[in-house]
Amino acid sequence: MLIGAVEAGGTKFVCGIGNEQGEVLDRISFPTEQPEKTLAQVKAYFQDKQVEAIGIGSFGPINIDRTSPQYGYVTTTPKPGWSNYPVLPELKKVFEVPIGWDTDVNAAALGEATWGAAKGLDSCLYYTIGTGVGVGVYAEGKMVHGLVHPEGGHVLTRRHPDDTYEGKCPYHGDCLEGMAAGPALEARWKVKGHELPVDHPAWEMEAFYIGQALVSAILLLSPKKIILGGGVMHQKQLFPLIHEQVRSGLKGYVASSALDADGIVDYIVAPGLGDNAGLCGSIALGLRAFEESK
Ligand code: ADP
Ligand code: ZN
């Protein structure tokens, strides 16, 4: 069975074809431009691909309320042309197969729970620490939806005592995204993240913010695995620093061997699907939409 996948990002779109094993058989990518132009490229890509379902993991905020007339819309993005744009309805006009629709990070969490680092588990969190910070929540075998969808990138954290940077989030200033996303790193240290040496104090500060957010998430949601992806997490030295922050933040309060010094190494991990986490998540969404349609 061939499943179409769309990783709809604010900077670029990735389209691909996968199967029920989560294997990526083909992929293309193109920059995100005006929605009409970008969706025309999506339509052209899938036109002759004979997919039986499609999954779309999208940048947000998006409407995922199936009872809403705006279901499938990108909602309040500052991205020119995309605010209140009916992405899913536009694609439904041309594709008659079942189409799954969710946030990019919820999709990535589902993909990791299906084939990746959280395989076989009924709960996990997927964080992307990149241009922004996003969190996908998978719990009791389902992507968590609610009033809208989780926006865990914008939780508040305490300031690092040595940090004088004001924060970059246009809404909240010094929320997690404002302090720890790639653009915040760059603004604070005046060089791009990948140019900072691995032993630079930036990484301890970065782990300080991410670790605090994870402590809150563990206390609130009790996920069975936490997966950290996105460009900034290519800095592998962050993992042990984050493990330490989380353990010192929890202070032994949560009774699980997953949180002891050995366990945490397998509890807070990189994506098992590597840089395919996003695309595989969309394949998993498509597969789920197909199964639900039967
Ligand atoms: P996006 O979030 O746009 O989908 P990425 O996850 O690649 O894309 O995140 C891009 C951000 O991550 C940029 O701010 C970039 O500076 C930062 N980044 C990318 N690679 C690295 C790296 N190796 N080390 C530190 N920061 C990085
Ligand atoms: Zn914010």
CATH number at residue 38: 3.30.420.40
Nearest atom in ligand 1 to the alpha carbon of residue 278 is 4
Please state whether beta strands 24-31 and 12-18 pair in parallel, antiparallel, or not at all (unpaired).
Answer: antiparallel
Tokens for 241?
A: 């620093």
- Assess whether 135 and 244 both reside in one domain: yes
Nearest C-alpha to atom 14 of ligand 1 is from which residue? 182
In the reported structure, the alpha carbon of residue 83 is separated from the centroid of ligand 2 by a whole-number distance in angstroms of 18
- Assess whether 129 and 243 both reside in one domain: yes
DSSP structure class, residue 159: P
C-alpha 211/C-alpha 124 separation (Å) is 16
| Structural domain includes residue 76 | yes
- Assess whether 38 and 133 both reside in one domain: no
C-alpha 285/C-alpha 277 separation (Å) is 12
138-to-71, 119, 135, 149 alpha-carbon distances in Å: 20, 12, 10, 11
Token pair 């301890």 in the structure block, residue: 204
| Structural domain includes residue 232 | yes
Please count the CA atoms within 13 angstroms of the CA of 259 that sit on its side-chain side: 20
Which residue(s) pair with 136 in the sheet?
126
Percentages helix, strand, coil for the chain (3-state, rounded to 5) are 40, 20, 40
C-alpha 254/C-alpha 232 separation (Å) is 28
Contacts with 233 (C-beta within 8 Å, 6 or more apart), sequence order: 129, 270
| Structural domain includes residue 112 | no
**CA–CA–CA angle 190, 215, 142 (5° rounding):** 105
Letter for the amino acid at 215? Answer: V
C-alpha 121/C-alpha 114 separation (Å) is 8
- Assess whether 231 and 147 both reside in one domain: yes
| Structural domain includes residue 233 | yes
Please report the pLDDT score of residue 78 as a whole number. Answer: 84
CB-CB contact of 203 with 196 (8 Å): yes
- Assess whether 137 and 258 both reside in one domain: yes
Tokens for 223?
A: 């996920």
Structural domain count, the chain? 2
Please report the pLDDT score of residue 109 as a whole number. Answer: 98
Burial string for 70-86 (b: 16+ CB within 10 Å, else e) reads: eebbbeebeeeebeebb
Q: What is the pLDDT along the chain (294 residues), one digit of tens a residue?
A: 999 999 999 999 999 999 999 999 999 999 999 999 999 999 999 999 999 999 999 998 999 999 999 999 999 988 899 999 999 999 999 999 999 999 999 999 999 999 999 999 999 999 999 999 999 999 999 999 999 999 999 999 999 999 999 999 999 999 999 999 999 999 999 999 999 999 999 999 999 999 999 999 999 999 999 999 999 999 999 999 999 999 999 999 999 999 999 999 999 999 999 989 999 999 999 999 999 999
| Structural domain includes residue 109 | no
| Structural domain includes residue 43 | yes
CB-CB contact of 57 with 281 (8 Å): yes
- Assess whether 136 and 249 both reside in one domain: yes
- Assess whether 126 and 266 both reside in one domain: yes
- Assess whether 191 and 283 both reside in one domain: no
CB-CB contact of 109 with 124 (8 Å): yes
- Assess whether 266 and 281 both reside in one domain: no
- Assess whether 262 and 156 both reside in one domain: yes
Nearest C-alpha to atom 9 of ligand 1 is from which residue? 130
In the reported structure, the alpha carbon of residue 194 is separated from the centroid of ligand 2 by a whole-number distance in angstroms of 23
Please report the pLDDT score of residue 117 as a whole number. Answer: 98
| Structural domain includes residue 73 | yes
- Assess whether 188 and 53 both reside in one domain: no
- Assess whether 159 and 266 both reside in one domain: yes
Please report the pLDDT score of residue 98 as a whole number. Answer: 98
Q: Where are the alpha helices (DSSP H) in 224-273?
A: 238-250
Full domain range(s) for residue 241: 117-270
DSSP structure class, residue 257: G
Nearest C-alpha to atom 16 of ligand 1 is from which residue? 182
| Structural domain includes residue 111 | no
Output the ligand 1 site: residues, CB below 6 A.
Answer: 9, 11, 128, 130-131, 182-183, 192-194, 230-232, 234-235
